Amino acid sequence: MATLGFIGSGSIGTNLARLAVAAGINVVLSNSRGPETLAEAVAELGERAHAATPEEAARTGDWVVVSIPLAAYRKLPVAALAGKVVLDTINYYPMRDGHIEVLDSGKTTTSELVQEHLAGAKLVKAFNNISDHHIPSLARPAGAADRTALPIAGGDPQAKASAADLISRLGFDTVDGGPLTESWRFEPETAPYAAPYFTDPDAARAGWVQLAEALRSGNLPQTPPADPGAPLPAAQLRTLLAGTPRKLTADRVLA
Ligand SMILES: NC(=O)c1ccc[n+]([C@@H]2O[C@H](COP(=O)([O-])OP(=O)(O)OC[C@H]3O[C@@H](n4cnc5c(N)ncnc54)[C@H](OP(=O)(O)O)[C@@H]3O)[C@@H](O)[C@H]2O)c1
């Protein structure tokens, strides 16, 4: 029986774990506070789910999703993840993670930084460009006419194929976005990032501007009603990936 490990079991981790369990895949959740704090999530997910430490989740998983704030990436267990296909959902938000010069300047990408730390792991950037609430609302069975495509990037073709197979079982098509050096193409605020999966992409982008202004002024806006999402076909995603300009920290609205 296949097992998907999770290091980070917050919003993205638990949404992916639900899809995995629905697809007949066992899941091992972990977080920073310890397995006992995941009892509720495990109970909701049912008998296919267990909680463990990050090291145990890494060793048990046939694939491992790392879904933590970038600021914590150096705590990822290097030895336990060596040889594993690691799906990296991490985004860089300086307001949360602190400034990292090599990312601000575009010398490297977020996933290259994580791969550099995880020597021996086969990193595949995935699920970073879709909002958490669109993961359940846009997942579809293989062959569905309205299936949504997600970009992946990585340096190991076999690892990418394995990740694509997993992602398909979870409910999404994939488009190969190239090696990790090209993964800036779907980092925050690029053309394929988050907005195209909203029913109104322009309104989603306008919402980021409002949120940035609200964060500056300290008056947080009310959370907008959940958007059901709009399927993004692979051909459209390819066009967005090919045409997007790079968005460095200084070019971003929310950073
Ligand atoms: N939310 C979105 O819509 C979205 C979309 C795409 C990508 N992302 C990116 O995906 C990542 C996760 O996002 P999220 O929204 O799921 O975050 P979240 O809800 O805040 O969850 C973060 C998880 O990471 C765990 N964690 C933190 N430090 C850890 C460590 N050293 N070892 C193990 N686990 C640790 C936390 O555990 P504790 O609570 O125990 O500390 C928590 O389970 C972020 O990089 C984010 O930018 C988010």
Residue 132 CB less than 6 A away from ligand 1:
yes
Q: What dihedral do alpha carbons 175, 171, 208, 99 form, nearest 10°?
A: -70
Structure tokens at 164: 């694509």
* Ligand 1 atom nearest to CA at 90: 45
**Centroid of ligand 1 to alpha carbon of 143 (angstroms):** 31
Q: In this predicted model, what pLDDT tens digit does every residue of 110-156 receive, in sequence order?
A: 999 999 999 999 999 999 999 999 999 999 999 999 999 999 999 99
Encode pLDDT of 159-202 as tens digits: 999 999 999 999 999 999 999 999 999 999 999 999 999 999 99
The pLDDT, as a whole number, for residue 88 is: 99
Task: Provide the pLDDT for residue 56.
Answer: 98
pLDDT tens column, 48-75: 999 999 999 999 999 999 999 999 999 9
Atom of ligand 1 nearest to the CA of 92: 47
Q: Are 89 and 72 in contact (CB under 8 A)?
A: no
CB atoms within 10 A of CB 158: 10
Q: What is the DSSP string of 5-49?
A: EEE--SHHHHHHHHHHHHTT-EEEE--SS-GGGGHHHHHHH-TTE
How much is the pTM? 0.98
Is pLDDT at 36 greater than 90 in this prediction? yes
Could you please report the per-residue DSSP string of 146-201?
T--EEEEEES-HHHHHHHHHHHHHHT-EEEE--SGGGGGGGSTTSTTSSGGGSSSH
Q: Is the pLDDT of residue 20 over 90?
A: yes
Give the tens place of pLDDT for each residue, 207-241.
Answer: 999 999 999 999 887 787 889 999 999 999 999 99
Rounded CA-CA distance 229/220 in Å is 23
CATH T-level topology, domain 69-251:
Rossmann fold (3.40.50)
CA atoms of 158 and 163, how far apart (whole Å): 9
Cα 71 to ligand 1 centre (Å): 10
Name which of 184, 190, 185, 191 is nearest 106 in CA terms.
Answer: 184
Q: Smallest Cα–Cα separation from 3: which of 70, 53, 56?
A: 56
Classify the C-alpha dihedral 37-39-41-47 as positive or negative.
positive
Q: Is the CB of 57 under 6 A from ligand 1?
A: no
User: Is residue 70 lining ligand 1, measured as CB closer than 6 Å?
Assistant: yes
DSSP H or E segment with residue 145: none
**What's the pLDDT tens digit per position in 76-108?**
999 999 999 999 999 999 999 999 999 999 999
- The whole-number pLDDT of residue 219 equals 87
| pLDDT classification of 37: cutoffs 50, 70, 90 | very high
CA neighbor of 114 nearest in space, from 151, 73, 155: 73
What is the pLDDT, as a whole number, of residue 220?
82
Distance CA 167, CA 82 (A): 21
Determine the distance separating the centroid of ligand 1 and the alpha carbon of 129, expressed in angstroms.
14
Contact 78, 118 (CB under 8 A): yes
Amino acid occupying residue 85: V
